[in-house]
Amino acid sequence: MTVMLGLANKKKEQSKKVVVIGIDGLPFSLINEYMRQGVMPQFRQMTREGSFLRMKSSLPEVSSVAWTSFMTGKNPGEHGIFGFMELDDNYCYRFPNFKDIKVPTFWEKLDVPSVIINLPQTYPAVRPLKGVLVSGFVAIDLRRAVYPQNAYSKLEEIGYRLDVKAKLASEDPDGFFVDLFEVFESRLKAIRYFFDHTEWQIFVGTITATDRLHHYFYPQALGEGPYHGKMLEFYGKLDAFLGEIYEKAKDQGCIFLTCSDHGFTPITSEVYLNRWLIENGYLLLEDTSKGLERISGNSLAFCLDPGRIYIHLKDRYPRGCVARSDYKSLRKDLAEKLSQITFNGKKVIKRTYLREEIFNGPYTVLGPDIYLLPYPGFDLKGAVDRPTVFGTSHFTGMHTYDDAHLFISSDHKLSTPTITDIASLIEGHFF
C-alpha cells in the first residue's frame, strides 16, 4: 500500500522533510481520554490541525516486530523478525538484532540525510546511514548503539541513558519513577540536540518510557493507585514536548507524525502456554531451569512469547520428532484445542492463526506454525517454569493489537491504517 501525503502548499512539497515521534505502547484510547481530561492540551490542538487515527499493530503485537514493520513497510515473512527472542540450534534463547532484518529500512531506501534516535530493533548500529543512528531497545552498550562514533561524546555530555532500571518497578517504585524521569529527560535532550544541530530530511525520535510505565503501572494510568499523579505528570511533560517538536516541524515545513507500535490494556491473568502444552502432553522437558534448552525429543510443540506455537519438526529442529506427513493434522488439532482455553468461564484466545494466514514472503517458514491472538486482559507467555497455566506477576499491563495510534499533520485518505503502512507513507512523500 503506497499512500501519498498531501501537503498544504508547494513550499512544503519542495522541503521533503518528515518528522516522526514514535511513542512506544501509547494507545489511541488513552490519548483520547487524556485529551478529554485536559492532560494533553497540545495533542488536542494538534488533532484540530491534522488527523488522529486508531491504528492496528503487527502480528505478533510486540515492539521488535512492530517497529521493524514500521521501518521497513514489510510483514515478518519479508523482514524476518517474529519476536524478541528465537531459539538457536541448541534450543538456547537468542535475541535477533538489526543485522537480522532482511530488507532495507525506509531511510536506507530513500538514502537521504536522516537522524534515528532510540528506535527499537536497531542495535547494534552497524548499518551505515547518511546521518546519525542511536539504537533503541534492546541496546546494551551505548558505544555499539551509536553511528557515527563521533556522536558518542555528545550523548555522554548530555547524560544519555539507554533505558530505565526495570527491576526498580517491583523493588522500589518511587525509585523507578525517579529513574524513569531521568532517562526520559536525557532522551528529550538528545532528540532536541540532534533535531537542532544535525542536517536531516528524515527525523525519527522514539519515546519508550511509555511502554515501561504501562507494563508495570498501566491501571494507574487509568486512575487507580498511588502513582496516578506521577502518570499524569509524565504525560504532561510528554504532551509539552510533542507540542514543542510539532511547532518546530511546522516552522520548517515538515510533515509531522506520531505513532505507537501497539496499544495497552490491564492484565486479567498471564497465561503460560508452555505449561498448558506440558499438561496436555505436547511438551516434555527434562529440566525447566534453562528454558527450552532441555526439551525432550518426544516433544510435539513449544511456545515462544507472546503466543507463538512451533511444531517440533524433525527437519527443522535437532531433536524434533514430528514428521512432515503428520504436520497438518497435528497443527489443526493443536490449534483447535488452544482456541478452547478458558479462564473463569471466559475464552482466552480471540483468534487462532495458521502461519500462512498472516505472514507472506521468503522468511515465512521461520515463523511460528500457529499464532494466538488473545482477548484483552490475557497476557500470553512462553515461560516454562510456571507450575500453573494461569498466574500473575509484577506486570499489570499488556500489549494490544488494535489500539495503537497514528497522528498525521496533513490531509490523507487513510481510514484503517496499520503500522506496516507508515514506511510507504513516508516514502510516498519523497517520490
pLDDT tens by residue, 70-107: 999 999 999 999 999 999 999 999 999 999 999 999 99
Residue 366 lies in a domain: yes
Residue 5 lies in a domain: no
- Same domain assignment for residues 70 and 160: yes
Please state the rounded mean pLDDT for residues 144-169.
Answer: 96
Higher pLDDT, 337 or 3: 337
Please state the rounded mean pLDDT for residues 187-205.
Answer: 98
Cell, residue 289: 531451569
Q: For position 429, what pLDDT does the model report?
A: 87
Does residue 13 have a pLDDT over 60? no
Q: What is the DSSP string of 261-328?
A: S-EEEE-SEEEEHHHHHHHTTS--BS-STTTTTTB-TT--EEEETTTEEEE-BTTTSTT--B-HHHHH
Is 87 in contact with 29 (CB distance < 8 Å)?
no
Is 303 in contact with 309 (CB distance < 8 Å)?
yes
- Same domain assignment for residues 92 and 212: yes
Residue 193 lies in a domain: yes
- Spatial separation of the C-alpha atoms in residues 259 and 423, rounded to whole Å: 12
Q: For position 5, what pLDDT does the model report?
A: 38
For the beta carbon of residue 173, count every other beta carbon within 10 angstroms.
Answer: 17
Cell, residue 139: 541496546
The domain spanning residue 326 has which CATH number?
Answer: 3.30.1360
- Same domain assignment for residues 62 and 163: yes
The band of 431, judged by pLDDT with boundaries at 50, 70 and 90, is: confident
The band of 287, judged by pLDDT with boundaries at 50, 70 and 90, is: confident
- Is residue 141 classed as helix, strand or coil in its secondary structure? coil
Does residue 6 have a pLDDT over 80? no
- Same domain assignment for residues 178 and 233: yes
Does residue 7 have a pLDDT over 50? no
- Spatial separation of the C-alpha atoms in residues 139 and 162, rounded to whole Å: 7
Residue 127 lies in a domain: yes
Q: Could you tell me the strand order of the sheet in which 269-272 lies?
A: 378-381, 269-272, 390-391
Residue 3 lies in a domain: no
Does residue 131 have a pLDDT over 90? yes
Does residue 12 have a pLDDT over 60? no
Q: Determine phi and psi for 218, rounding to 5 degrees.
A: -60, -45
pLDDT 10s digits, 359-404: 999 999 999 999 999 999 999 999 999 999 999 999 999 999 999 9
Higher pLDDT, 1 or 423: 423
Q: Determine phi and psi for 199, rounding to 5 degrees.
A: -75, 130
Q: Which of 202-216, 280-294, 407-421 ranks highest by mean pLDDT? A: 202-216
- Same domain assignment for residues 30 and 17: yes
Residue 97 lies in a domain: yes
pLDDT 10s digits, 246-279: 999 999 999 999 999 999 999 999 999 999 999 9
Q: How many domains does the chain have?
A: 2
Domain span holding position 366: 269-391
pLDDT 10s digits, 229-255: 999 999 999 999 999 999 999 999 999
Q: What angle do CA 27, 29, 35 make, to 5 degrees?
A: 105
- Same domain assignment for residues 372 and 417: no
DSSP state of 375: P
Residue 2 lies in a domain: no
- Same domain assignment for residues 426 and 283: no
pLDDT 10s digits, 320-339: 999 999 999 999 999 999 99
DSSP state of 5: P
Residue 331 lies in a domain: yes
Longest dimension (CA), the chain: 67
Smallest CA-to-CA distance from 56 within 408, 360, 418 is with: 418
Helix, strand, coil % (nearest 5) of the chain? 40, 20, 40
Q: Is 159 left (phi over 0), alpha (psi -120 to 50) or beta?
A: left
- Same domain assignment for residues 214 and 73: yes
The domain spanning residue 224 has which CATH number?
Answer: 3.40.720.10
- Same domain assignment for residues 359 and 417: no
The alpha carbon of 347 is separated from its chain's Cα centroid by a whole number of angstroms, namely 25
Please state the rounded mean pLDDT for residues 353-358.
Answer: 97
- Same domain assignment for residues 277 and 246: no
The band of 8, judged by pLDDT with boundaries at 50, 70 and 90, is: very low
- Is residue 66 classed as helix, strand or coil in its secondary structure? helix
Smallest CA-to-CA distance from 59 within 37, 85, 77, 43 is with: 77
Is 176 in contact with 164 (CB distance < 8 Å)?
yes
- Same domain assignment for residues 219 and 310: no
Higher pLDDT, 10 or 301: 301
- Spatial separation of the C-alpha atoms in residues 121 and 100, rounded to whole Å: 9
| Residue-averaged pLDDT of the chain | 94
Q: For position 15, what pLDDT does the model report?
A: 62
Least confident window among 298-302, 412-416, 417-421: 412-416
Please compute Rg for the chain using Cα positions.
22
pTM of the model: 0.94
- Same domain assignment for residues 42 and 74: yes
* Amino acid type, 134: V
Facing residues of 418 across strands? 56
